[in-house]
Homo-oligomer: A and B are copies of this chain.
Amino acid sequence: MSNSPRPDVKRVLLAHGSGGSLSRSLMEEVFLPSFTNPFLAPLNDQAVFTMPAGRLAFTTDSYVVNPIFFPGGDIGKLSVCGTINDLAVGGAGPVYMSASFIIEEGLPMDELRRVTASMSATAKKAGVQIVTGDTKVVERGKGDKLFINTAGIGVLPDSVELTPLRIAPGDKVIVSGTMGDHGISIMTHRQGIRMDVPVESDCAALHGLVEMMLKAGSGGIKAMRDPTRGGLATVMNEFAISSNTAISLIEDAIPVRDAVRGACELLGFDPLYLANEGKLVAVVSPEYVEAVIAAMRAHPLGIDAALIGTVIEKPKGRVLLETSVGNTRILDMLSGEQLPRIC
C-alpha cells in the first residue's frame, strides 16, 4: 500500500471517493491540513466531545452555489457561515460542525484546496471546530464541480427563546444591514455582467452580532432569521403566517446599496427577494428597539442596522409594503424561481 503524496494528481479522480488509498491520501493531503484538530486526527468515522447538560441546537444545509468562487466569498466560506448563522439566529452559540463534500470528477485539486482553506479560515475566525466529515466523488456530468453540506451543533442558553410564535402586534422589525448584496454578487458574476461598482457578497458569520443583540435586548427579542433564499420578503411572510399577524414594512427604510438597486432595475429583480448571507432580520418588542439597534450599530456587521417596519393585527398572515411613492401593496411570497443555485 502506498500513501505517497502523489503531487502529480492535479484533479480529483473517481478513485478519490473509493475509500481506498487515494481516499486516504486526499484526506491526509487536503482535508487534514486544513481542518487539523484533535477530533479529526484519529480518522474515525465520528467525532466525540463532551457537552454540558442543557439545550443544544442542531442544523444542516447543503450548498450548491454556482459559481463556487465569487466576489466576497466562495462555497466553502458560505457553507461555514450559513450553518453558523442558522444556529446564531436561533440564539445558539455555534461550537462544532461537520463538512461533507460531493465532488464532480475533474475538479482541480487546487480549487478544492482553496475551498478547504477558506472553510478552515472562516471556522477559525468564528471559533468553531470542523470535527467530522465525508467525501464522495461522482462522475463528470453527474454533479457540478463541488457541493458541500455542513451540519452544526450549538449551545442554546436557557434564557433564550426565539420563535416567531412570540411575535405580537406592536413589535418592531429590524434588519442588520443592506439587502440583496449576495444575490446580486452571484448573479452579476455568474452572468459576466460588468459593474462600475462591483457588489461583493455579504457572506459573514453573525453569531458575534447576535450575542451583542441578545445582551442588549434580553427577552425583548422575539424572533430572528437570516434572510437567505427568498430574501427578506420570504422571511417576513413566514413570520406573519407563523405568528398569525401582519407585518407592515416601509420601503424607504430598508437599506439597499445603490449598486444593488441599479443592478436590480437593470435585471428586473426586487432586492427584497434576493438572498443575503451575512444579514439578519429581528422582531423586537418596542421598548428594546433603541438598545438593540445601538448594540447592532456598534458591531462591524450591524453598522447599517435599521428599523424597517411594525407588526400589526391584520390582514393576518400578510406582509404589506408602504412604497416610496406612497402606495401600500402586498408583499407576497414568490412561487417561482428568481435566482437558482444562489447558495
Contacts and interface: CB of A to CB of B under 8 A. Distances in A.
A61 B86 CA distance: 20
Choose among A2, A43, A333 the residue with the greatest number of B CB atoms under 10 Å from its CB: A333
A23 to B, nearest CB: 7
Interface string A1-28: 1100000000001110111111110000
A214 B11 CA distance: 43
A187 to B, nearest CB: 14
Mostly, the A contact residues are mixed
Interface residues of A, number: 90
Given A57-B47, A163-B44, A341-B138, A62 B20 contact: no
A47 B59 contact: yes
A112 B24 CA distance: 33
A213 interface: no
A196 interface: no
A234 interface: yes
B60 A49 contact: no
A165 B44 CA distance: 11
B46 A92 contact: yes
A84 to B, nearest CB: 11
Interface in A65-107: 66, 86-87, 89-90, 92, 96, 98-102
B46 A58 contact: yes
A50 interface: yes
Contacts of A333: 1, 20-21, 24
A46 to B, nearest CB: 4
